[in-house]
Chains A and B, each alone.
Chain A
Amino acid sequence: MSPRIKRFFGGLLRVVVLTLFLLAVVLPIYWMAITSFKTNPEIINAQRLTYWPEIFTTENYIALFRLFNYGELLKNSLVVSASTGICVTLLSILGGYGLARYKFRGKDAMLLFFLVTQMIPGILVIIPLYVILSQMGLINTHVGLFIYYLIANLPFCVITMRSFFERIPYSLEEAARVDGCTKYQSLWRIVLPIMFPGIVAVFVFAFIGAWNELIAGTIFISTAEKWTIPVGLKSLIGKYNVQWGVLMAGGVLALLPTAIMFACMQKFVVEGLTAGAVKE
């Protein structure tokens, strides 16, 4: 087969694969979105399934804001997730750099310890942490929740950050030192700018980790004004009755901030994360 034909089939295959993936992602999201515009009786109607609402209504979205205080939920989620993202990123830069650049004997043990923290079932951590936080008076505060999200997302982000650092050859920093920079200046001026895409990626992962978490949100927060979005959505599932339309509307809206962040981030991660391929 000539190279031309090979390339043609290769391209065709790519298009097919990309289309399939797109459909697999878009169809469920479409289904969710379309449901959020239906009235509840139409949604649970067992006799007929409609692919486009018979009665197109925005009542679910209105109810979401008026009755269920979505604005408040949104604000809470943003505050907690943003602070988690920022702190986790900062700490991972420090930790990742330290782990990447320094050699010491306990390195493997440390890695294993980080992994073990991921293996502990969440509930076994949450209960003792609840006791500690309540002694510190941090229950029903966003600070308490933030602390949990911090330690929950830190191990993965540190490991990831470390790998990004390792792709950047030390010679870059050495060159900067030769030019007269101190260690911190070389870190700040040379390394971090190259690392920027990686930093953004880690921030987004940490943000999403906090944004979508449910269990700690219910345990550490007691009053409804301080709920985050997932907890608020969960309250739509009552003992006998599920407000499907409002639930789907809430799910769709909860998607928007993260979707926007993804849109921005993917540009960096994909096009920019060639830091390690810097040629010398």
Chain B
Amino acid sequence: MFKLILYLLGLAVIVALAIKLMGPRLNNRTKMGLEPYLFILPVLTLLVLLFGYPLLNSFIMAFENYKLTAPNDIYFNGADNFKKLFSDRDIGLVIKNSFIYVITAVSGQFLLGMTLALALRKKFPGRGLYQSIVFLPWAFSAFVIGIMFRWSFNGEYGVVNDLLLKLGAIKEQIAWLGTPGLSLLVVILAMIWMGVPFFAIMYLAALQSIPADIYEAADIDGCGVIRKFFLITIPYIKPTIIMTLLLRTIWIFNSFDLIVVITGGGPASSSQTLPSYMYTRAFASYDFGLASALGILLIAMLGLYSVVFLSATKYNKAGDF
């Protein structure tokens, strides 16, 4: 208990020192006194405090043989956990699935979200009510969505097969969750269904802030719809696009609750991604060393992605989100 308080105080001191070091100024002009601390310190301290310790802990555990089933046998084992990770037979498939999952789900949500936002841009009677309904998927818990999709896509009594058969689109029932490739598709569909409102809301808000006269000027110049979109709309909301894509990719990459609920990673690991793999294998076998190694791997991959993504889209030059 005492150790904890010491830890808290120390961390607050570090954070304060760090801020002092950075020498915040208001708009490059005057050096401020205690003011900036008041604003930033609470948030920063909380986050560093409660994320810092787990982060460090995980980093250390990743290089240790840390199994709960052998509590007296904790020792530093170098990169053994990572070697173990990469020598798993299915790791290639799991990584591949992760990429397919993330890229497809994010693109799907992005395109559909953007479409929806554009369609909602102009006022029409009943827009308020419409919006209250069409954004609802985001308000569902992932668990409920997962159950619903798992049940609807069931090969034997699922409503999807029933509808498809009735509409004549297929002749025979499809074993959605029992076919490699298709099972991942169901998860992707669930994720897209859930995530479209997020993009739609963000982009709709961003679109609202584009001044109308720019479009009028473009009209006078004779710009077509397509050109207007790519030369005016996109650059204006570019910061929003970048930030939402980045965040959503990170969230989706790290998510596994939909996978665990809908397919359990199966069949034969065909819908298993890195986080769900961590959840079912490393965590379930009480091998915290392995789980941490996987966690560090995930953070490294996402970190790399973020840095590359931000610099490739010239985030800094585009202004802020």
Chains A and B directly touch (beta carbon < 8 Å): yes
Contact yes or no, A262 B135, CB < 8 A: yes
Contact yes or no, B40 A120, CB < 8 A: no
Determine whether B278 belongs to the interface, using a CB cutoff of 8 Å to chain A: yes
Contact of A99 among B26, B40, B251, B303 (CB under 8 A): B40
Interchain nearest-CB distance for A82 vs B (Å): 15
A137 to B16, CA, bound (A): 28
Count B-side interface residues using an 8 Å CB cutoff: 98
On chain B, the residues within 8 Å of A62 by CB distance are none
Determine whether A114 belongs to the interface, using a CB cutoff of 8 Å to chain B: yes
Contact yes or no, B157 A45, CB < 8 A: yes
On chain A, the residues within 8 Å of B279 by CB distance are 123
Instruction: List residues 118-161 of chain A with CB under 8 A from any CB of chain B.
Output: 118-125, 127-129, 132, 135-136, 147, 150-151, 154-156, 158-160
Determine whether B139 belongs to the interface, using a CB cutoff of 8 Å to chain A: yes
**Most chain A beta carbons < 10 A, residue from B40, B53, B58, B142:** B40
A99 to B37, CA, bound (A): 11
Instruction: List residues 128-179 of chain B with CB under 8 A from any CB of chain A.
Output: 128-144, 147-148, 151-152, 156-157, 159, 162
Instruction: List residues 257-280 of chain A with CB under 8 A from any CB of chain B.
Output: 258-259, 262-263, 266-267, 269-271, 273-277, 279
A212 to B136, CA, bound (A): 13
Residues of A contacting B: mostly: helix
Instruction: List residues 1-48 of chain B with CB under 8 A from any CB of chain A.
Output: 1, 4, 18-19, 21-28, 32, 35-36, 38-40, 42-44, 46-48
A-binding segment of B74-82, B180-188, B204-212, B264-272: B204-212
On chain B, the residues within 8 Å of A97 by CB distance are 39
Contact yes or no, B51 A98, CB < 8 A: no
On chain A, the residues within 8 Å of B246 by CB distance are 115
Contact of A170 among B27, B42, B147 (CB under 8 A): B27
Contact of B157 among A10, A46, A258 (CB under 8 A): A46
Contact yes or no, A17 B116, CB < 8 A: yes
Interchain nearest-CB distance for B145 vs A (Å): 8
On chain A, the residues within 8 Å of B116 by CB distance are 17, 21
Given A120-B55, A254-B144: A167 touches B209 (CB 8 Å cut-off): yes
Mask, B71-115, CB within 8 Å of A = 1, is 000000000000000000000000000000000000000001001
A229 to B140, CA, bound (A): 12
Determine whether B195 belongs to the interface, using a CB cutoff of 8 Å to chain A: no
Contact yes or no, B43 A101, CB < 8 A: no
Contact yes or no, A119 B298, CB < 8 A: yes
Contact yes or no, A98 B321, CB < 8 A: no
On chain B, the residues within 8 Å of A44 by CB distance are 157
On chain B, the residues within 8 Å of A31 by CB distance are 148, 152, 159
On chain A, the residues within 8 Å of B303 by CB distance are 112, 115-116, 119
Determine whether B299 belongs to the interface, using a CB cutoff of 8 Å to chain A: yes
On chain B, the residues within 8 Å of A135 by CB distance are 1, 4
Contact of A95 among B43, B120, B254 (CB under 8 A): B43
Given A22-B130, A274-B209: A103 touches B25 (CB 8 Å cut-off): yes
**Most chain B beta carbons < 10 A, residue from A24, A45, A150:** A24
Interchain nearest-CB distance for B89 vs A (Å): 22
Determine whether B318 belongs to the interface, using a CB cutoff of 8 Å to chain A: no
Determine whether A64 belongs to the interface, using a CB cutoff of 8 Å to chain B: no
Contact yes or no, B243 A247, CB < 8 A: no
Whose C-beta in chain A lies nearest to the C-beta of B278? A121
Contact yes or no, A119 B152, CB < 8 A: no
Determine whether A55 belongs to the interface, using a CB cutoff of 8 Å to chain B: no
Given A123-B291, A129-B54: A259 touches B247 (CB 8 Å cut-off): no
On chain A, the residues within 8 Å of B294 by CB distance are 121
**Most chain A beta carbons < 10 A, residue from B26, B140, B257, B275:** B140
Contact yes or no, A244 B291, CB < 8 A: no
A156 to B132, CA, bound (A): 23
Determine whether A110 belongs to the interface, using a CB cutoff of 8 Å to chain B: yes
Contact yes or no, A273 B302, CB < 8 A: no
* 23 intermolecular pairs with C-beta atoms under 8 Å apart: A17-B116, A21-B116, A25-B133, A49-B157, A98-B39, A101-B26, A102-B25, A102-B26, A102-B36, A114-B47, A115-B306, A119-B303, A121-B275, A121-B298, A129-B50, A154-B43, A159-B247, A166-B320, A214-B142, A214-B143, A230-B141, A244-B151, A275-B209
Closest 7 CB pairs of A and B: A98-B39, A95-B43, A258-B139, A212-B141, A263-B132, A104-B24, A104-B22
